Structures are given as C-alpha cells and as structure tokens.
Amino acid sequence: MGATATVRVMSPEEIAARSGGETPYLLWPERGTHFAEREMRLRQLAANHPMREFLLFAADLASAQQAQLAAYPAVALPDHEALDRAASRLAPPLAAIDFPRDPAWRSELRALLARLPDSLPPAARDTIGRVARAEDSWLETQADCLLAGVTRGLDLAAAPLVAAGLQVYFTHLLLSVQASAIGRGQPFGRIEDETVCPACASKPVASVTRNAGDLLGQRYLGCSLCGLQWHMVRIKCAHCLSTQAITYQSLQRAADEPDTGAAASAVAQAEVCDSCGHYLKIFHSDRDPHVDAAADDLATVTLDLLVSESGARRHGVNLMLLFGEPDSQTDDSADDAAEGHPRAGTEISAAVRPPNPPDPGPR
Ligand SMILES: [Zn+2]
Ligand SMILES: [Zn+2]
C-alpha cells in the first residue's frame, strides 16, 4: 500500500505550495483566540435568545477554556514512529477513542471548573462542585463515554463540563504535536475517512463557509473536539459523501417573531442528504463574519427540530448539548445517540432543557 497510501498524505512541500493561493486542506485553531472567539460569539447570540441562560453558561465555559489553553502544561505526545505509522495508514494520529490521555487533563479540568463564576445558578454550582470533587476513575469513565458517543452511563448534567476539559486537552495536544513536528514533516493531513476529523477522528460539529486563499466560499468542517477544521467541497453529504440529492433547509423568521440575534436564520442552513437521511449544519461567514461552528450550532437548535420533523438525522455532534436519553438505550437507539439524532421532541427538550445551565436533575 506504501506508494499509493503515502501519496495522499500532504507533504511539507505540498503544505508550502498551498500557501500560494490554493485552498488549504486544514485550518488550525489559534491557541490565543480559539475559545475566546467562541465565547464572544456565544454572548452575541445570547441576546434575546430563548436559550439565553444556557448560551451564557456556554460562554462562561469557553472563557475558562481559553484561560486554560493559554497556559496548558506539557503533556505526553505520541512519538514520531507512531505519527509516521498513522500517516502511512491514512489513519488519524490522535484518534480520541483510543488515545491514552495524559492524566494532566483531569487536573486541568478541575482548574477550569475553579474559574467558573460563583454567580451561576445554584443548580449549576452543585454540578460543578460534584465534577470537581469526582474520583479520577469516574472522570475517566465519563470521558470514555463522551468520546465514544455513548450516552449509556453518561451523566448528562456533567457532560458539558467534562467535555469542556477534553476539548482543551485535545486542542492543546493537537497544537503541541504540530509544534513538535516542525522540521520533520506534516503529521496531519488527509485520512481515509473524510467524514471525521483528520487528527482526532471525532465528528464535526457543523461546517462553515470561509474565504480561503484565493477561493471564495470554501466549506470547512469543524471538529467537535479538537477544533481543527478540514476542507470538504460544498453540496456533498458529510456523512455518506454522496453528491446526489442534497437539499438545504433554513429557518424563516416570521415577521411577528422576535429576532433571535445576529440574523441566525439567514446565516444557518441544514445540508440534508436524501441518499442517507443525514444532515449537517452549514454557517455562512460571508453573511456573518463572526460565525463559530460550535456556538452557532448551539444557538440554532430550532433548526434541528425543523429538520428532524422530516426524519433526517444529525451527523454533527455538539459536546455541549448532547441529544438522547441517558438510561433508555437499546442497541438500536445506541446508534441514534451516537449520531446525536433528535428522534422526538420530548427527547430533545429533555436534553436541551438545561436553559438553566447544566441541569442537575435527580440522579
Ligand atoms: Zn479533532
Ligand atoms: Zn448522505
């Protein structure tokens, strides 16, 4: 497989060539601004939004994430042999489900939680305290469930908090591996499965159109975990890669409805594939330059409700807002939960309902 396999991995020369105006395949999260931009966007979207409290809570989390990312300690990195092996197999080098996490992620999570404001509602403070005091083994189990997309055994109230810690850890890991490879060749590039993140193999949260290089309106899928963005042509299903039978749905705001902020309805679309029945949201940065895949996804849950009425399933995953019930899974529904499929209005509202940040719920 050697020759054909390696030819599809981007070499440093190709990366360099791509700075000359071609569309770059990868867009990197910026250590200094990645979560800060998300925080800003969440606060902007929260104005007059029905989920205002939840969006502001997510903004507080993003603020704490940014502070942690800016000063994250060194963590264990995969060695060069492992990176080369992954590249030659067109495999994601940091596949999140299997990756041996550095224990530092737990202490960094606890430090992140300590940054959250005391002014949060009591229910949220309780959940924060519970996660901060949790045993290492419980945190590891929660992390395993989150990264595998399994809601059985997952504490849904605590999930956004644990997920926030994992996101910072994997973003830091991604940027550290990238920095450690300087002069050695690009450790990240195309992998066999272009429906998942080329670095950590997580699903995208949504896609964003951007102007990249000389080309206008390029579409990038944003990783739900590490924040890496990878290019995918438009009008192509992000789940089954079909280019047939793609349609778009968006929310039309009725004239008598309040503006839910930042003209979200005009900026957001669901790209629906009639071949496989999945959809991924697409946000247009030419219509609003501040779009952030994760933030805008949270603020457009009504679009999920609209699209799910036609039976379409979510391909995107938002770790801040998981769809599905924790304790009611059959093998069949496990698939749905992993795909974040909003199957019925009742289930969605159960998971969405933390407009009061993380719903403590009886457990
Ligand atoms: Zn990723
Ligand atoms: Zn499809």
Q: Pick the ligand that lies closest to the CA of residue 238.
A: 2
CA nearest to 48, candidates 314, 307, 258 = 258
Query: Residue 357: its pLDDT value, please?
Result: 39
Query: Residue 43: its pLDDT value, please?
Result: 98
- Taking the whole predicted model, whether its pTM rises above 0.85 is answered as no
Query: Residue 303: its pLDDT value, please?
Result: 94
Q: Give the distance (Å) from ligand 2 centre to CA of residue 204.
A: 14
Compute the distance between CA of residue 55 and CA of residue 50 in angstroms, rounded to an integer: 9
Q: Give the distance (Å) from ligand 2 centre to CA of residue 140.
A: 33
* Pair 149, 338: CB distance under 8 Å: yes
* Pair 266, 283: CB distance under 8 Å: no
Q: Pick the ligand that lies closest to the CA of residue 171.
A: 1
Compute the distance between CA of residue 282 and CA of residue 300 in angstroms, rounded to an integer: 11
Q: Give the distance (Å) from ligand 1 centre to CA of residue 323.
A: 20
Q: Pick the ligand that lies closest to the CA of residue 293.
A: 1
Query: Residue 263: its pLDDT value, please?
Result: 35
Query: Residue 212: its pLDDT value, please?
Result: 64
Report residue 340 as tokens: 């974040």
Q: Give the distance (Å) from ligand 1 centre to CA of residue 118.
A: 31
Query: Residue 21: its pLDDT value, please?
Result: 57
Query: Residue 119: its pLDDT value, please?
Result: 94
Q: Give the distance (Å) from ligand 1 centre to CA of residue 245.
A: 28
Q: Give the distance (Å) from ligand 1 centre to CA of residue 228.
A: 5
Per-residue pLDDT of the chain (363 residues; tens, 9 = 90+): 333 333 344 444 444 444 455 788 999 999 999 999 999 999 999 999 999 999 999 999 999 999 999 999 999 999 999 999 999 999 999 999 999 999 999 999 999 999 999 999 999 999 999 999 999 999 999 999 999 999 899 999 999 999 999 999 999 999 999 999 887 888 999 999 999 999 999 999 999 998 766 667 899 999 999 999 999 999 999 999 999 999 999 986 444 445 554 333 468 999 999 999 999 999 999 888 899 999 999 999 999 999 999 999 999 999 999 875 444 333 333 344 434 444 333 233 333 334 333 443 333
Q: Give the distance (Å) from ligand 1 centre to CA of residue 40.
A: 22
Query: Residue 6: its pLDDT value, please?
Result: 34
Q: Pick the ligand that lies closest to the CA of residue 274.
A: 2
Among 3.30.420.40, 3.40.50.620, 3.90.1670.10, 3.40.50.970, what is the CATH number of 1-357? 3.90.1670.10
| First-last CA distance in the chain | 51
Q: Give the distance (Å) from ligand 2 centre to CA of residue 238.
A: 7
Query: Residue 354: its pLDDT value, please?
Result: 41
